[in-house]
Chain A
Amino acid sequence: MTGENGQISIWYFIGCLLTIYGVLITGSGIYELFSPPARPVVLAEFHAAIWWGLLMLGGGLTYIYFFRPSKDNK
């Protein structure tokens, strides 16, 4: 499960999903920055979607980099 035996690592899959989610959630947060909702959530001024999305994006890209399938495994 860690990339041995020609198998793509589980962490690589997780990295891909986190990257996609990070882009979507950060994008959603940026959109809200310029177009605030009529009924904002509590602590909306913290813009949690932006920093949480960026955190997921950073984590996802890190996982993709470190657990990407090697040439030997292709």
Chain B
Amino acid sequence: MNPFALMLAAAPERLIVLSPIDLAIIAIYFVAVLMIGFYLKERASTGEDFFLAGREMTAWVAGLAFLSANLGSLELMGWAAASYQYGILATHWYWIGAIPAMLFLGVVMMPFYYISKTHSVPGYLQLRFGEGARGLSAVTFAFMTVLMSGINMYSMALVMKVVLGWDINFSIWVSSITVAVYVALGGLRSAIFNEVLQFVLIWLGAMLIPILGLIEAGGWTNLQAKIASNWAGQDFTSLWSTLGTFEGNPMGIHWTGIVLGLGWVISFGYWTTDFLVVQRVLAAKDLRAAKMAPIIGAWFKMLVPFIVILPGLLGLGLLDIKLTGEAEAIATGGHSYNEVLPLMMARYLGPGLLGLGITALIAGFMSGMAGNVSAFATVWTYDIYRAFMKKDASDSHYVSMGRWCTIVGVLVSIGTAYLVMQFLSIMDYVQALFSFFIAPLFGTVLLGMLWKRATPAGGFWGLLAGTVSSIAMWAWVKADPSVLSIIALSPNAKDMAENMYRALWSWTVCVLVTVVVSYMTKPKPIEELRGLVYGATDIPSEHGVPLMSKPAFWAWVVGAVFVVLNVIFW
């Protein structure tokens, strides 16, 4: 059952009561985002404007929007809860589970996305592998994106119900209509503009909790000592040293799952091929900005555990009560893991600051939803509608279709939210479904960009085989749980470990099938691969560019800090 729904059942009363000043801060935020949408309406008249924000974003704007689209409110709530439950291990999703992939996107993959002038990831697949691969990835992406958006919307409304006592219908409709209005008016430019604003608010609203928490704890070393004292026999503050065995850590995962499953396949799959985030970078004003954007995003991503993971750890060390799983919280009338962030907010934030903290949660939700609907509108309009239904319409027709798609996408999301409300188990299935497509897609795009011999048939059949194998493995474990020891290499593996290994195997199937089919079929002539593949693309030289302006230099700097952080918290 959805953890947030259980949280609703467990919560005895609202956790936080807002003052008039808090409500004013939230209301001003809504006015601001709508004003931005109306202001930018005039600048979304062409397809290039509406779907690619005119390709004029600076590296900073594209980089912050790239990260903000991923930094949803459920991310803040969910990972704070995960860090209370699993300790600092949750940081892997922000460091090894993101940083190498973001740097790889910036330095290696971005030139091909950008030089090919594609408007989307399915669009790149069409250029490289043809309509089959494009159609498969576009349909699955569009379908899953609106469903995920609805699920996030429902979860967010539940959070607002539990934390603030707000009516679920009110939260769903007000927040979604606001997003629909500003994205439909200003397109991707408005979404990005607001994402940068939301990024700033998320940090300002969430940063005080770790600052005040560390002051109360007396610093990081004292916090570690308090956690060790409160939770004898369990290690919540070591990042790697407990991952030698499946049984040695609360997550039930081995380091190979973290490195190969999360750090390689899932992370690279999400950050380099999920159009929701890649679209922001495609809007950069030139190739150098496009390469720098993910590197800037990586820098801030590395800092996110400070506002997400640390509050959970502070809860472990400082809260007088012990939070439990949802079922136990319902039985005992206590608080669950998922309430750790609201509890820490209520602990430190008085009137005004509390409103800012709640605004950060709402901003997170809206940035994620705007990312979903703007990416959906682009993929539907360009990769499904124009590719398969109406090929020769005018540019203004496609812009109009994009605006309607935004509204329809939001309405479908709202419908999904109500569907989930009736049938909660849908949420588990849809989240599993989403994971089916990411890992194989990464295999297809990676081979497409780096291997000239990959053929259109190889790309299509590899993508299909990888996706089908992922679904088959998931269904096999559902039908016979004992198979878990084969898929995840251990009968003790938990859900997260199963996801890691399933992603790894499905990616491997995709790559193997692509290679075998490619060797059996005729490759494209080299002339058709210009601008799409390594070895057939002239990438502008950075010779003569000052060191401080070179994306590769900053990638090395971020990479070095990433290594140092992992060693410090080993």
Contact = CB atoms under 8 A, between A and B. Distances in A.
Contacts of B39: 8
Chain A: interface secondary structure? helix
Contacts of A49: 350-353
Interface of B: 21, 24-25, 28-29, 32, 36, 39, 43, 53, 56-58, 61, 189, 192-193, 196-197, 200-201, 204, 208, 212, 215-216, 346-353, 356
Contact of B351 (A1, A7, A28, A46): A28
Chain B: interface secondary structure? helix
A19 B349 CA distance: 19
A44 B352 contact: no
A13 B58 contact: no
B348 A13 contact: no
Contacts of B189: 1
B24 A24 contact: yes
A14 B200 CA distance: 8
A46 B212 contact: yes
- Residue from A21, A40, A46 having most chain B Cβ neighbours under 10 A: A21
Contacts of A32: 350-351
A10 B24 CA distance: 22
25 contacts: A1-B53, A1-B58, A1-B61, A1-B189, A1-B193, A13-B32, A17-B197, A18-B200, A20-B28, A21-B25, A21-B28, A21-B204, A25-B352, A25-B356, A28-B21, A28-B352, A41-B346, A41-B348, A42-B347, A42-B348, A43-B215, A48-B212, A48-B349, A49-B352, A52-B208
Contacts, number: 92
A56 interface: yes
Interface of A: 1-2, 4-5, 7-8, 10, 13-14, 16-18, 20-21, 24-25, 27-29, 32, 37, 40-44, 46, 48-49, 52-53, 56
A14 B197 contact: yes
A8 to B, nearest CB: 7
A7 B43 contact: yes
Contacts of A14: 196-197, 200
A43 B348 contact: yes
